[in-house]
Structure 1
Amino acid sequence: MESAAREIDHPSLSAKEFGRLSRFIYDTCGIKMPEVKKTMLEARLAKRLRTLGMHSFVDYCDYLFSAAGQENELVQMLDMVTTNKTDFFREPDHFEYLTHKVLPGWCQRHPGATLSLWSAGCSSGEEPYTLSMVLSEFALHNPGFDFQILATDISTRVLEKAKNAIYAEPLVEPVPMPLKKKYLLRSKDRASGLVRIVPELREKVRFRRLNFMDDDFGGMREQFDIIFCRNVIIYFDRPTQEKLLQRFHRHLKPNALIFMGHSETLSGLDVAFTSVYPTVYRKQG
């Protein structure tokens, strides 16, 4: 009886059910789930089984692939399996390059226009709020400059955290002290160790759920001056990376820029971008 109880508490993911789930995850959101990630997938989805009161992954798969599961469980499952790693001022040289090289030239070419920027794969909001800080600082010294940021992610769970804009103090350590004083609000309960992004920065960021695998990004019509999609395509295989970059190309204005992560490269991909700085590319055509 004790052995049976342990099996119920810790259901095992069989090779067959892992195959069903990994194929589905790839088809749905483009993320490769190789055999080495079986244990990780089992651990993460075991939480959903407990929540749903299910005792096996067979039951879970049958539910997930049913009409009711597609409507009620799909987003929950994707929330559990997607990786959401980010930091404030991650890869800081990108923000230096943006401030000192990109924005001055953009302002000269587009006087009076509003810069449109997309943080694609924004996770819990650290990147778009970093951008909002950097662009707000630039605006202080460049009257007439304005900007708007769209921030998207496939995970409703991290988007909710991003919208709330509340962070534990250790997470904001990378923010320079002058910007902390200006753009972070400490909780009235000092013992909580929480801070919140000031309203004027939050107002500059719109959050939206978006699956990169949806046709034309779910009917997106916007075009952007800059896209930040950093440390995202590393989770896709090369054909999916190429397809994704081609879609980004269509949503960039002429000569606009895309910022990639430092571990990512467009080498070998059939995409019309030219390198202008390490992991920063300009749209051709």
Structure 2
Amino acid sequence: MTTLARPSTSDGDLPLTEADFARIARIAKAGWGLSLESAKRPLIRSRLGRRVKALGLGSFDAYCDVVESGEAQESDHFVTALTTNVTHFYREAHHFEMLESQILPPILQAARQGKRVRLWSAGCSSGQEAYSLAGSILALAPDAAKLDLRILGTDIDPTVLQIAQDGVYDPKICLFPTPALEERVFGRAPPTGGLRAVRPELKALVTFRRLNLVKPWPISGRFDVIFCRNVVIYFDKPTQRQLWARFAEVLHPGAWLLIGHSERIADPQELGLDPAGITTYRHAGAPSGKAPS
């Protein structure tokens, strides 16, 4: 555990200099690919200022020394402070409508014929997107647990990943487009102890792992569907382009990539992706939906 001196300055009047901001931005870019705009300085000063105070430090420069020392726990706090985890169940409902009407039916048919099927919620935050995917699958295929079908949820923030793994939520953040979708995820049981617990059938389909998207991916096999929505907004344009290309490399021919409402892929055909709907792309080539012979 790090032991540090008490500051003579509170986080309320702690200055964030140009040099401090530049150093924080360099650390964020080198470690996590995050691109920090100068407009975010007040937010960064407020959030990281709390960490400076909690550690008993007197400056942001000293705080950067701690982060760059490699202390894992503080690195976790650092990335948590710099990212915003705002999500809800069945967010951007048009994607889930397309998923259930067009994307999943042939995938599920192939799974019933023995095909390995994998979906990835990249930047899953506290798990709502991954559990929404599971809810859609079970609505179409109640026998999904018997198939070689799994959902991977990944995020860089260990705090939100723990919430995702627990699958237990405060009702105040359980936002759904319709009551029917809410019942898919939580069933009809009333909250226990004031909290809502995801149905066990959904949890059984999902595995959560910590993953830094700009570092090597310890992933084997390809995916049939990737949701990466409202994640690349944290990256600069070159990093975004590299990430889109890496997603394309791990998609099966004919597989799907769905991105956030404010995101676009420039020249997707150069990456082997074809536009297929609102912020939806499909890997070029024939679908690999047939069962293995």
Q: TM-score range by the shorter chain?
A: 0.7 to 0.9
- Aligned pairs for 1:146-157 within 5 A: 147-157=149-159
Give the stretch that moved more between structures: 236-245 or 6-15: 6-15
> Please, what TM-score do these two structures have when normalized by structure 1?
0.88
What is aligned with 2:83? 82
CA–CA distance in 2 between the matches of 1:142 and 1:73?
Answer: 40
What is aligned with 2:220? 221
Say if 1:221 and 1:96 are closer, same or farther in 2 by CA, change over 3 A. Answer: same
The aligned length equals 274
CA–CA distance in 2 between the matches of 1:45 and 1:29?
Answer: 16
CA contact (8 A) 1:225 1:256 kept: yes
TM-superposed CA distance for 1:175, in Å, is 5.4
Matching of residue 236 in structure 1 with residue 235 in structure 2: yes
Say if 1:162 and 1:265 are closer, same or farther in 2 by CA, change over 3 A. Answer: same
TM-superposed CA distance for 1:142, in Å, is 8.6
TM-superposed CA distance for 1:43, in Å, is 0.7
What is aligned with 2:4? none
> Aligned partner of 2:212: which letter?
N
| Other structure's SS at 1:150 match | strand
- Which of these residues, 42, 50, 55, is aligned with residue 52 of structure 1? 55
| Other structure's SS at 2:10 match | helix
TM-superposed CA distance for 1:171, in Å, is 2.4
CA–CA distance in 1 between the matches of 2:205 and 2:144?
Answer: 17
Say if 1:52 and 1:6 are closer, same or farther in 2 by CA, change over 3 A. Answer: closer
**Which runs of 5 or more structure 2 residues have no equivalent in the other structure?**
1-6, 286-293
Structure with more of its chain in helix, by fraction? 1
RMSD: 2.3
TM-superposed CA distance for 1:60, in Å, is 0.8
CA contact (8 A) 1:88 1:171 kept: no
- Which of these residues, 31, 34, 41, is aligned with residue 31 of structure 1? 34
What is aligned with 1:42? 45
- Aligned pairs for 1:1-285 within 5 A: 7-10=9-12, 11-67=14-70, 69=71, 71-109=72-110, 111-140=113-142, 147-174=149-176, 176-181=178-183, 183-184=185-186, 185-189=189-193, 192=194, 194-215=195-216, 217=217, 219-268=218-267, 270-284=270-284
> Please, what TM-score do these two structures have when normalized by structure 2?
0.86
CA contact (8 A) 2:27 2:68 kept: no
Say if 1:143 and 1:157 are closer, same or farther in 2 by CA, change over 3 A. Answer: closer
TM-superposed CA distance for 1:284, in Å, is 2.5
Residues 11-49 of structure 1 deviation map (CA, whole Å, 9 limit, x = unaligned): 221111110011110122111111111111111111212
> Aligned partner of 1:206: which letter?
T
CA contact (8 A) 2:273 2:284 kept: yes
Give the stretch that moved more between structures: 119-128 or 158-167: 158-167
| Other structure's SS at 2:49 match | helix
CA–CA distance in 1 between the matches of 2:283 and 2:184?
Answer: 35
**Which runs of 5 or more structure 1 residues have no equivalent in the other structure?**
none
TM-superposed CA distance for 1:280, in Å, is 1.2
Residues 55-81 of structure 1 deviation map (CA, whole Å, 9 limit, x = unaligned): 2212111222224x3x44222211211
CA–CA distance in 1 between the matches of 2:59 and 2:185?
Answer: 47
| Other structure's SS at 1:8 match | coil
| Other structure's SS at 2:164 match | helix
